[in-house]
Amino acid sequence: MTDHRDDEIPQWAAHELGRVIISPQELHARVAQLGAEITRDYASRPPLLIGVLKGAMVFMSDLMKTIELPVDIDFMAVSSYGAATKSSGVVRIVKDLDAEIAGRHVIVVEDIVDSGLTLNYLRQYLGARSPASLEVCALLFKEGEQRVEQTIRYTGFRIQPDFVVGYGLDVNERLRNLDGIYEFTGTP
């Protein structure tokens, strides 16, 4: 990640944002790299991408366009934050999959991994459905926040443990529509 200028912060949201963590240009370049890696790794076995709503929606939309394979998609919605800026550690399934995953190669697409508790729960939950393989593609990995050790096959960026918004990540359903990733300094 590079140093960013203040003029890259959208004026309509500037009162709630700190520094630019990842610019739109960096995001799009790294997403293309991840798509190329997945294309190479799954060339003979197109995967099912499972997006974790709502945060991974933007990332998954961009990611699937860079994968040069006939991928299938599905979505799950889980909750572990509520209205807080830290995970509660209690994971609740809000929307389950529509697709059957037994015998399929599955990639869980996550926006951010912080405590690791949600991802750990999802791995156990989905693993019980007997996929042929189960991997994770996470846009962001927060350094030093894990309460559960995680092996993530595809990681976009490692970031400091700041609360971030944009590119699908929100605070109380706000600021998902920012093109980049920004430090949130406002009031939740």
Catalytic residues: 114
CA distances from 167 to 36, 47, 121, 178 (A): 20, 23, 24, 6
DSSP label at 47?
A: P
| Residue 128 burial by Cβ neighbours in a 10 Å radius (0-12, 13-18, 19+) | exposed
Find how far residue 137's CA is from the centre of its chain.
Answer: 7
- By DSSP bridging, strand 105-113 and strand 48-53 are parallel
β-sheet bridge partners, residue 135: 107
- Which residues neighbour 78 within 8 Å (Cβ) at sequence distance 6 or greater? 52, 91, 92, 93, 94, 118, 121, 122
How does DSSP assign 155-176, residue by residue? EEEEE-S--EEBTTB-BTTBST
